[in-house]
Amino acid sequence: MFQPTLPIRTPRLTLRSITSDDLDDVYAWQCRPDVVRWTYSTGGVPRTREQSRESVLAMAGEDALRAEGDCLTLAAATDAGVVGTVELVWRSALDRAAELGYIFHPDHGGRGLATEAATALMDWGFNEFALHRIYARCHSRNEASVRLMTRLGMRQEARHVESYLFRGEWVDQLVFAVLASEWHTRAATAGLYYPAPDGQDGSNQH
């Protein structure tokens, strides 16, 4: 079983497991059309409160990576509550590959919080889970997601033309990725700093 030492503290966030007490915060963005418009899991359709309750219960069980296909989901919390989630899905043990996912409430956008949370989780993935490659996918028109993946040091690897049906329309999907070697090199050259778990000082690479 692979599980980070929680909580992971960054300068502005506490990354921890989802609990049932987070329902109100999670529903606050899952019910918004502008948030879910690009999400695969809902087909771009806002969730009802009961659907959000089911989603929270599912995410609460995603607390470790035990086998291929498992998802590790962490709440990104501030003093204002849970403002988003980040996740890693273990796609291949042989290839040491995982897929990154994220979703944040737009009221907390524009502050780099999603970048901060994703960086911390990816840092754990490369340094503690020994991943070789982390990739992420998004709708080709999801410009905010493209900007985030770029800020994370990921490069566009592919554009899958009309590769899936979304809200009745065949759409393109973009694939971004970063290798462990690229992550470490970028950190070394840029002098990037990411705190260790439990708020202890550390210099894990990006």
Q: Could you give the count of Cα atoms lying within 13 Å of 22 in the half-sphere of its Cβ?
A: 25
Residue 82 within a domain: yes
Which pLDDT score is estimated for 103? 95
Which pLDDT score is estimated for 196? 36
Cα 187 → chain centroid = 19
What is the domain count for the chain?
1
DSSP 129: S
Cα 64 → chain centroid = 14
In angstroms, what CA-CA distances link 81 with 46, 53, 195? 21, 17, 21
Q: Are 22 and 37 in contact (CB under 8 A)?
A: no
Residue 204 within a domain: no
Residue 138 within a domain: yes
Residue 201 within a domain: no
Containing domain of residue 148, as a range?
A: 8-186
Residue 63 within a domain: yes
In angstroms, what CA-CA distances link 176 with 24, 131, 148? 32, 16, 10
Residue 21 within a domain: yes
Which pLDDT score is estimated for 41? 75
Which pLDDT score is estimated for 189? 74
Q: Could you give the count of Cα atoms lying within 13 Å of 45 in the half-sphere of its Cβ?
A: 9
Walk along the chain (206 residues) and give the pLDDT tens digit of each residue: 999 999 999 999 999 999 999 999 999 999 999 998 888 777 788 999 999 999 999 999 999 999 999 999 999 999 999 999 999 999 999 999 999 999 999 999 899 999 999 999 999 999 999 999 999 999 999 999 999 999 999 999 999 999 999 888 999 999 999 999 999 998 777 655 444 333 333 222 22
Pick the closest to residue 177 from 92, 103, 77 (CA basis): 92
Which pLDDT score is estimated for 167? 86
**CATH number for the domain harbouring residue 79:** 3.40.630.30
Residue 15 within a domain: yes
